[in-house]
Chains A and B, each alone.
Chain A
Amino acid sequence: MASITYPQSAEAPATPGTLKLVQRERAMIGAHIITALIALLFGIFMGPFQTFHRSPTFVQYFPTIPVFTFYYQAVTVHGVMNALFFTTFFIVGFCYFVTERSLQRPIKSVPMGWAAFASMALGLVLMLFTILTSPQQSAVLYTFYPPMIAPALFYIGLVLLALGSWLASANIFLTYRDWKREHRNERVPLAVFAILVNFIVWCVATVGVALEIVFMLLPASLGILKVTDPQLARTLFWFFGHPLVYFWLLPAYVSWYTMLPRQAGGKLFSEPLARVAFVMFLLFAVPVGVHHQFSDPGISASSKGVQTLLTLVVSIPSFMTAFNVGAALENAARNRGAKTLFDWPFKQKWNDPVVAAQLAGMLLFVAGGFSGLINASAQLNATIHNTSWVPAHFHQTLGGAVMLTYIGILYWLLPAIRGRALFSKRAALAQVFTWLIGMTLFGLAMGEAGLQGVPRRALTSQAPYLTPAGAFWMDVTAISGVILLISSILLFVNVIGTLFFSRQPMPEGEVPIETVSGDRSSPLWLERWGIWLGVIGVLLLIAYGPVVAEVLDFQEGWNIMRFIPTSNAPMP
């Protein structure tokens, strides 16, 4: 197969900006990224300790595993800090930076930016305080399903995080509106196009969880409300919970589509199709949440079938991304002298941590994507639902593709924020490859264990039902935990080293951000956001209308079932 020829319309790469940050940027972006890393510091190390807790052999030889003795507290810290706080802070900080540089204007309101940050940071403090001071009561995991009810501060922390993120979204939307007024007939740069999609998805999705927290969980926690409806709460949670994964993924795609091609030494294959892919995420990210509820009794099989189809549709833009970004990488390798059909994956800049991290993330995403298609197939879900297969899947996607891409971004963004070179390139490379190996092993072991019926989120080393095969795979998982622990330490060696000990000046470099308007071959109608919001509304009505009717049991009249919420389950 010959190498792919580029469409004639593709324009030359834009002039990139300088890497030097002005003080205003350094303060705002730095505050977000460093706070994200503080949340990550709490969350990331809980991962390996969970794998140790779950392994019968490990527990036999090390009966007291240090740091966290209560396994379910570790699960809660890991999920809440990594998946909710680290991601949100990182995404907001990164997206401000890309928006400002792409549109060549500051965000609309710096005071509003700081108000958003203060809200999110206060949320982080309250959440950490709650989880660390009342480990038993707040061990409701990051999915916090009622009737288990955590202390009120747990929910207040989440509300503050959401409020801050909405303010940040508004700031980005208003910045775009101002730019658009001055550039009527221009296409917004691809990176900002994707960021707008991401924050629209976020604002739509968070409505579900906000309703759940404000009207169900927080009042129950404060003792105002004595009743709850677990089936309704789960439905509202997953209305938010699945689009949440696209909120994590799309900033990684911003890097893959708009930064990696140049970092790797090539150029993007098709910008119009990149935009089409992002519009598909915009439309199909939300009406798919029920695929997390295939095993729920309160939702009909037909509603589940509809959302199965929509879930398969939302995999299409990721397949399109694989082609488009893959072609860009092939182009990069051809520029570097790759000649044959299969040598281009090897002729990449595997010795550049920024590029290697993103490529390693893509490798894990291949496994994660296909395990996701299996999860989305309603009948296969019965085999793996709530088994350790599920964390295997989302550690290939979130813990693999997304995390490694964020790390790749961090390896250029953190030096830019600090104004010094990355502390150690070798440590960064070692970190990337130990992460790739560790997460590959983790995915294999947890996936195999899941097929053997080992549940997720259970202290399996104490489980009487654990089979020999299950025990074996849990032990293998602990080995992957050791590798990932080393990788996590290497990551923070570089973070702390770059912030405090790097003496080298920052290398002369460029921000890998396009600053010109988008490719003229991209149709302007792709930016008709009002139309897309209308389509989202229709799709939500089709996908979620029947679900809500079933959950609320409309046939019996308006009937929100009344239960007395149990606080945390009793202790043994």
Chain B
Amino acid sequence: MEINKLERYWLMAVGITLGAFVAATIVAVTVFGIRLPAPVERIDPQRLDQTIFANPGVRKIADNRYEAVIVARSWAFDAGPEAGNPAVLRFPRGSQVTFYVTSKDVMHGFQIEKHTLNLELVPGQVARATANFNRPGTYHIVCNHYCGAGHQVMYGTIVVE
């Protein structure tokens, strides 16, 4: 089978382009520390009261390090009574926050504006991801997975002070 010279050049250019995409992915993981969600734990969404999700809320675990436990349900993010509804979470500038989120009913989404934190909330699975909040501002937490008639009002807010 003959391959024309120009087509060979084209295929090389394609290879270089795709190689650049692969390299960018590797750099994103190794240098910028972008991590994809991976299995944490499986839980029964009917029995969240027997897990860490019994008491949602924000806990400080070290200087500038926090843990946020959040339960998504139709149609709110429950981050404990202090956060209220719609939930408002406050962190000082420079905080590193690890989110533990799960859904107690249908599929939901968990995306923080202007951050690379974007999780599918699958009932029965604990989703975990870490975000750094270095710039002061107000960022919405948006449910980005269709979850029924009230999907568009499901959100929360993160205030970085």
Contacts and interface: CB of A to CB of B under 8 A. Distances in A.
Interface of A: 4, 7, 9, 70, 72, 75, 136, 139, 141, 145, 147-148, 229-231, 234, 269-270, 272-273, 276, 293-301, 304-305, 308-309, 312-313, 315-316, 319-320, 323-324, 373, 376-383, 385-387, 452-453, 455-460, 462-465, 467, 521-523, 550, 553, 556, 559, 561-564, 566, 568-572
A309 B22 contact: yes
- Of B22, B35, B44, B109, the most chain A CB neighbours within 10 A belong to B109
Interface stretch (B58-66, B88-96, B114-122): B114-122
Contact of B120 (A4, A296, A561, A568): A296
12 contacts: A4-B6, A295-B118, A297-B39, A297-B40, A304-B36, A319-B10, A387-B111, A455-B109, A457-B146, A521-B2, A561-B124, A572-B150
B74 A570 contact: yes
B42 interface: yes
Contacts of B38: 297, 299-301
A312 B22 contact: yes
A566 to B, nearest CB: 5
B37 interface: yes
B71 interface: no
B59 to A, nearest CB: 20
B128 A464 contact: no
Contacts of A9: 2
A4 B4 contact: yes
Contacts of B109: 295, 386, 455
Contacts of A559: 42
B139 to A, nearest CB: 9
Nearest to A315: B18
Contact of A566 (B21, B106, B143, B144): B106
Nearest to B121: A297
Given A269-B4, A270-B3, 17 more contacts: A231-B124, A276-B1, A295-B118, A295-B120, A297-B122, A323-B7, A382-B116, A382-B117, A382-B118, A387-B144, A463-B152, A464-B86, A465-B113, A563-B44, A569-B74, A569-B150, A572-B150
Given A7-B2, A569-B149, A463 B35 contact: no
Contacts of B32: 379
Contact size class for B?
Answer: 35 or more
Interface string B7-26: 10011001000100110110
Contact of B152 (A148, A378, A458, A553): A458
Contact of B14 (A7, A148, A319, A462): A319
B111 A386 contact: yes
Contact of B35 (A4, A139, A301, A462): A301
Interface in B97-125: 105-107, 109, 111, 113-114, 116-125
A455 B117 CA distance: 14
Contacts of B3: 270, 273
Contacts of B142: 453, 455, 465
Nearest to A316: B14
Nearest to A322: B10
B45 interface: yes
B105 A569 contact: yes
B160 interface: no
Contacts of B117: 382
A459 B151 contact: yes
Contacts, number: 211
Contacts of B22: 309, 312
Contacts of A299: 38-39
A561 B126 CA distance: 13
Nearest to A461: B152
A462 B126 contact: no
Contacts of B21: 312, 373, 376-377
Nearest to B148: A569
A378 B3 CA distance: 32
A231 B125 contact: yes
Contacts of A385: 111, 118, 120, 144
B46 interface: yes
B120 A293 contact: yes
A566 B105 contact: yes
A4 B46 CA distance: 66
Contacts of B126: 297
Given A270-B7, A550-B39, A569-B106, A297 B120 contact: yes
B122 A72 contact: no
Q: Which 6 A-B pairs have the closest CB atoms?
A: A569-B148, A379-B28, A455-B144, A386-B144, A297-B127, A465-B140
A172 B18 CA distance: 35
Given A296-B122, A564-B46, A316 B18 contact: yes
B149 A561 contact: no
A383 to B, nearest CB: 6
A7 B114 contact: no
B146 A72 contact: yes
Given A563-B123, A572-B149, A456 B144 contact: yes
- Of A139, A147, A272, the most chain B CB neighbours within 10 A belong to A147
B34 interface: yes
A173 to B, nearest CB: 26
B153 interface: yes
A376 to B, nearest CB: 8
B37 A297 contact: yes
Contacts of B122: 230-231, 234, 296-298
B106 A465 contact: no
